[in-house]
């Protein structure tokens, strides 16, 4: 069975999502509003390191974390080839000690990484992130959304990838059973992930020491509240108060 987030499936994942250099566009969108120079940045769920390396090209100091050793090794090879000094580490964010890495100005996790962690572990993860941010530091992440009507089938024309997603959700718990058919490669992969309401995420961020909470369908935060049933949303918030 191919697993997308480790070799050899990682090559399929990257080709399906980033073959048109989407990571460069996404970093550019973030930097359209995050204008801190020479920031210390943490990438949670860095996969093959494409975004982290792009941030380093813009002059930032970056550490990337991922649970999958083969993804981290790929990221390290890319970083060595680019000679940009990005550090990559294998870490399970649910169990690892973020405090050992120091403090950061921006911590981000995109690609619905946090929808893949156990729902009951997300509050502790957000508290860890808060404890690792400098005062007024920013958290940025996306999660799958539990909204009605829930989109049970998503075709390539809607998301830009050659993947058909078929999904079912338990509206009470937010648990999503999801199958992605990768048309070019002729295989289907199953995921059990979690969806959240906007109110759930706002509550978790507030109780974890964040304020100025915003959400958007786009990383540049110009598209707000356009869909009644968004597939996922980006959230950003500022660290406030005592740790």
Give the closest residue to 107 by CA, choosing from 41, 204, 50.
41
Band of residue 233 on the pLDDT scale cut at 50, 70, 90: very high
Q: Considering the domain boundaries, does residue 218 fall inside one?
A: yes
**How many percent of the chain have pLDDT more than 90?**
76
Q: Considering the domain boundaries, does residue 49 fall inside one?
A: yes
pLDDT digits (tens, 9 = 90+) for 12-30: 888 888 888 999 999 999 9
CB-side neighbour CA atoms (13 Å) of 213: 18
CATH number of residue 42's parent domain: 3.40.50.150
Helix 69-82 × helix 9-18 angle, to 10°: 60
The larger pLDDT score, comparing residue 154 to residue 105, is at 105
Beta strands (DSSP E) in 67-209 are 87-90, 104-109, 133-145, 153-154, 163-169, 175-182, 187-196
Q: What is the mean pLDDT of residues 25-42?
A: 96
**Average pLDDT score over the chain:** 92
Q: Give CA–CA dist 110/143, Å, rounded.
A: 8
Q: Considering the domain boundaries, does residue 170 fall inside one?
A: yes
Q: Give CA–CA dist 143/109, Å, rounded.
A: 9
Q: Considering the domain boundaries, does residue 3 fall inside one?
A: no
Per mean pLDDT, which range of 49-53, 58-62, 79-83 is the poorest? 79-83
Range of the domain at 42: 9-239
Say if residue 67's pLDDT is above 90.
Answer: yes
Q: Considering the domain boundaries, does residue 79 fall inside one?
A: yes
Q: What is the mean pLDDT of residues 198-217?
A: 97
Provide the terminal-to-terminal Cα distance of the chain, rounded to the nearest Å.
Answer: 43
Q: Considering the domain boundaries, does residue 1 fall inside one?
A: no
Q: Considering the domain boundaries, does residue 2 fall inside one?
A: no
Per mean pLDDT, which range of 31-45, 74-88, 156-170 is the poorest? 156-170
Q: Give CA–CA dist 80/86, Å, rounded.
A: 9
Q: What is the mean pLDDT of residues 100-114?
A: 97
Q: Considering the domain boundaries, does residue 4 fall inside one?
A: no
Q: What is the pLDDT of residue 193?
A: 97
Band of residue 156 on the pLDDT scale cut at 50, 70, 90: confident
pLDDT digits (tens, 9 = 90+) for 129-142: 999 999 999 999 99
Number of domains in the chain: 1
Per mean pLDDT, which range of 18-22, 97-101, 135-139, 174-178 is the poorest? 18-22
Q: What is the pLDDT of residue 227?
A: 67
Say if residue 243's pLDDT is above 60.
Answer: no
Q: What is the pLDDT of residue 201?
A: 98
Q: What is the pLDDT of residue 155?
A: 84
6: phi then psi, degrees, rounded to nearest 5: -140, 160
68-82 burial string, b = 16+ CB within 10 Å, else e?
A: bebbbbbbbebbeee
Helix and strand counts by DSSP (H, E) for the chain: 7, 11
């Amino acid at each position: 069975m191919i697993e997308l987030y480790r070799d050899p499936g990682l090559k399929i994942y990257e080709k399906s999502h980033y073959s048109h250099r989407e990571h460069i566009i996404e970093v550019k969108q973030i930097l359209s509003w995050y204008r801190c120079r020479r920031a210390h940045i943490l990438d949670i769920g860095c996969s093959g390191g494409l975004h982290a390396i792009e941030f380093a090209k813009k002059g930032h100091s970056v550490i990337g974390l991922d649970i999958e050793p083969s993804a981290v090794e790929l990221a390290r090879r890319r970083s060595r080839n680019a000679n940009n000094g990005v550090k990559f580490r294998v870490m399970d964010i649910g169990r690892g000690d973020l405090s050992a890495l120091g403090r950061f100005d921006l911590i981000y996790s995109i690609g619905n990484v946090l929808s893949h962690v156990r729902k009951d572990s997300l509050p502790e993860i957000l508290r860890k992130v808060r404890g690792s941010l400098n005062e007024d530091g920013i958290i940025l992440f996306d999660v799958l959304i539990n909204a009605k009507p829930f989109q049970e089938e998503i075709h390539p024309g809607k998301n830009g990838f050659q993947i058909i997603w078929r999904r079912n959700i338990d509206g009470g718990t937010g648990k999503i059973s999801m199958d992605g058919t990768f048309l070019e490669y002729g295989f289907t992969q199953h995921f059990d992930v979690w969806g959240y309401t906007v109110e759930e995420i706002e509550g978790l961020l507030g109780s974890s020491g964040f304020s100025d909470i915003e959400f958007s369908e786009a990383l540049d935060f110009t598209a707000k509240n356009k869909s009644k049933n968004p597939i996922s949303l980006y959230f950003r918030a500022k660290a406030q108060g005592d740790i």
